[in-house]
């Protein structure tokens, strides 16, 4: 008896999740970016609010919630979450959204407005370059959405009114090189999939910057017919050497690939990755250091199926400068950020092995790693060199 009941309740959960998903997608779309009906507020016990600010002139829904939990005070020490679903609920709901949403014959994207780009920030805590991103986003509300996945212990909060406010997703610890990073990436994708307006999904870190203005980035991504996930094969310890025979027969050496963690996925790939119950668990189980899951899972997942690899550009849109022998790319602080550096990366045309770029096509939309100390110089150079701010 247990089994049919399990199936039935799973089916009911699916139906309810689906209905909720459809309903909230529309609600989400009809409201401004930073205030959504699913926003919940979590009070951290170990942070003491400083002097309470004067009460807001007009209590919004969010403020009323705060008022209830805090007796009308407020200020510091709150973590505002996008929702409080568990990973299981989240993945289930996300995997039931569609690759190209259609409602009664018309494309949902058409019905709901311009396709949006989801900017997904996988970070430790603060976003020191947020002021640069704010200038990049300015004037384009409705064409993007932001998701932030910090370490769960992070207690800071962006300013109200910032593009990052209320965009934090329930997170778990993500350790470099461990499967928890790949899980965090998938969690971000799942969150972003819940909004049917999102057509492209870009993974970023706190050290990433946009190299072009919003119009250029949005148009590049939404007009491309591929995802941008770097993938390559090479002999030696750092690529083929990381394959584990225990992954066979699901993951074969023929499909084994490596690539940068920093991807830009279309909706189809995002959905397939979130719904994947075949490759992901095998990687979780067997791809432990020196295997680095976030460098192998998505590239291999794509290479394993021609329907996916034919929709992938096999390169990343996020520049990083690697020096031979160093395990980390170069970091740019205050003194290394120059107009020449930024111009050089913007004009780089050497990102394909087969010289496949057409005239004027851009290699990199984003670049890393920029240190917090580089911010003033970046803000100064952005209007002249990068076309925003």
Ligand X SMILES: *[C@@H]1O[C@H](CO)[C@@H](O)[C@H](O)[C@H]1NC(C)=O
Q: Which stretch binds ligand X (CB under 6 A): 3-11, 81-89, 105-113, 149-157?
A: 81-89
Residue 219 interacting with ligand X (CB under 6 A): no
Q: Which stretch binds ligand X (CB under 6 A): 109-117, 181-189, 262-270, 309-317?
A: 309-317
Question: Least separation, in Å, of the C-beta of 347 and ligand X?
Answer: 11
Residue 162 interacting with ligand X (CB under 6 A): no
Residue 28 interacting with ligand X (CB under 6 A): no
Residue 215 interacting with ligand X (CB under 6 A): yes
Angle at 55 between CA 50 and CA 56, to 5 degrees: 120
Number of DSSP helices (H) and strands (E) in the chain, helices first: 13, 11
Q: Which stretch binds ligand X (CB under 6 A): 84-92, 158-166, 258-266, 370-378?
A: 84-92
Residue 84 interacting with ligand X (CB under 6 A): yes
| Contacts to ligand X from residues 164-183, by CB under 6 A | none
Residue 64 interacting with ligand X (CB under 6 A): no
Write the CB contacts of 237 (distance below 8 Å, at least 6 apart in sequence). Answer: 290
Which one of residues 189, 231, 282, 365 is an interface residue with ligand X (CB under 6 A)?
231
Residue 387 interacting with ligand X (CB under 6 A): yes
Question: Least separation, in Å, of the C-beta of 111 and ligand X?
Answer: 25
Write the CB contacts of 341 (distance below 8 Å, at least 6 apart in sequence). Answer: 332
Residue 300 interacting with ligand X (CB under 6 A): no
Question: Least separation, in Å, of the C-beta of 307 and ligand X?
Answer: 11
Which one of residues 47, 180, 216, 284 is an interface residue with ligand X (CB under 6 A)?
216
Which one of residues 314, 368, 378, 389 is an interface residue with ligand X (CB under 6 A)?
314
**In the complex with ligand X, which residue's Cβ is closer, 35 or 106?**
35
**Distance from C-alpha of 249 to C-alpha of 269, rounded to nearest angstrom:** 23
Pairing type for strands 40-43 and 78-81 reads antiparallel
**198 φ, ψ to 5°?**
-75, 125
Residue 85 interacting with ligand X (CB under 6 A): yes
Nearest alpha carbon to residue 142 among 76, 68, 198, 98: 198
Which one of residues 303, 317, 375, 378 is an interface residue with ligand X (CB under 6 A)?
303
Q: Which stretch binds ligand X (CB under 6 A): 13-21, 83-91, 177-185, 203-211?
A: 83-91
Residue 40 interacting with ligand X (CB under 6 A): yes
**In the complex with ligand X, which residue's Cβ is closer, 108 or 381?**
381
Residue 90: count other Cβ atoms within 10 Å of its Cβ.
22
**In the complex with ligand X, which residue's Cβ is closer, 216 or 224?**
216
Question: Read out DSSP for 210-269?
Answer: E-S-HHHHHHHHHH-SSBB---B---STTTGGG--GGGTTTS-GGG--B--S--EEEHHH
Name the H helices within 52-197.
61-70, 87-95, 108-112, 130-137, 179-193
Residue 191 interacting with ligand X (CB under 6 A): no
Residue 38 interacting with ligand X (CB under 6 A): no
Question: Least separation, in Å, of the C-beta of 79 and ligand X?
Answer: 13
**Reduced to 3 states, what is the DSSP secondary structure of residue 280?**
helix
- The answer to whether residues 261 and 297 touch, using CB atoms and an 8 Å cutoff, is no
Q: Which stretch binds ligand X (CB under 6 A): 80-88, 200-208, 271-279, 327-335?
A: 80-88
**In the complex with ligand X, which residue's Cβ is closer, 276 or 348?**
348
**Distance from C-alpha of 188 to C-alpha of 195, rounded to nearest angstrom:** 12
Residue 247 interacting with ligand X (CB under 6 A): no
- Interface with ligand X (CB under 6 A), residue total 15
| Contacts to ligand X from residues 332-371, by CB under 6 A | 350
**Distance from C-alpha of 234 to C-alpha of 299, rounded to nearest angstrom:** 13
**Distance from C-alpha of 79 to C-alpha of 120, rounded to nearest angstrom:** 18
Residue 18: count other Cβ atoms within 10 Å of its Cβ.
14
**Distance from C-alpha of 202 to C-alpha of 274, rounded to nearest angstrom:** 15
Residue 86 interacting with ligand X (CB under 6 A): yes
Tokens of 200: 């492209």
Residues making contact with ligand X (CB under 6 A): 40, 84-86, 213, 215-216, 231, 303, 309, 312-314, 350, 387
């Amino acid at each position: 008896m247990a089994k049919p009941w399990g199936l039935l309740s799973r089916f009911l959960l699916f139906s309810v999740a689906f209905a909720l998903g459809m309903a909230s997608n529309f609600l989400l779309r009809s409201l401004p970016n930073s205030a959504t009906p699913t926003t919940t507020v979590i009070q951290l016990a170990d942070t003491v609010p400083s002097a309470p600010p004067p009460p807001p002139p007009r209590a919004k829904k969010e403020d009323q919630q705060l008022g209830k939990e805090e007796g009308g005070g407020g200020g510091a020490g709150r973590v505002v979450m996008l929702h409080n679903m568990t990973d299981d609920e989240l993945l289930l709901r996300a995997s039931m959204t569609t690759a190209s949403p259609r409602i009664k014959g018309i494309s949902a994207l058409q019905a709901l407005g311009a396709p949006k780009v989801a900017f997904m920030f996988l970070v430790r805590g603060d976003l020191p370059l947020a002021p640069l991103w704010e200038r990049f986003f300015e004037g384009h509300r409705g064409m993007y959405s932001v998701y932030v996945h910090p370490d769960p212990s992070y207690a800071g909060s962006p300013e109200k009114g910032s593009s990052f406010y209320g965009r934090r997703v329930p997170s778990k610890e993500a350790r470099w090189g461990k499967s928890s990073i790949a899980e965090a990436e998938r969690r971000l994708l799942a969150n972003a999939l819940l909004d049917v307006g999102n057509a492209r999904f870009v993974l970023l870190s706190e050290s990433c910057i946009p190299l072009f203005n919003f119009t250029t980035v949005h148009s590049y991504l939404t007009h491309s017919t591929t995802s941008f996930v770097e993938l390559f094969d090479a002999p030696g310890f750092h690529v083929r050497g990381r394959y584990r025979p225990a992954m066979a027969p699901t993951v074969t050496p023929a499909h084994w690939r490596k690539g940068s963690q920093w991807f830009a996925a279309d909706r189809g790939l995002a959905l397939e990755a979130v719904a994947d119950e075949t490759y992901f668990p095998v990687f979780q189980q067997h791809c432990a250091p020196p295997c680095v899951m976030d460098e192998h899972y998505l590239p291999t997942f794509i290479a394993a199926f021609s329907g996916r690899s034919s929709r992938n550009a096999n390169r990343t849109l996020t520049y990083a400068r690697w020096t031979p022998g160093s395990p980390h790319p170069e970091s740019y602080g205050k003194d290394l950020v120059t107009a020449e550096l930024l111009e050089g990366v913007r004009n780089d045309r050497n990102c394909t092995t087969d010289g496949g770029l057409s005239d004027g096509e851009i290699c990199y939309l984003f670049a890393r790693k920029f240190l917090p100390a580089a911010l003033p110089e970046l803000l100064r150079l952005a209007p002249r060199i990068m076309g925003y701010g």
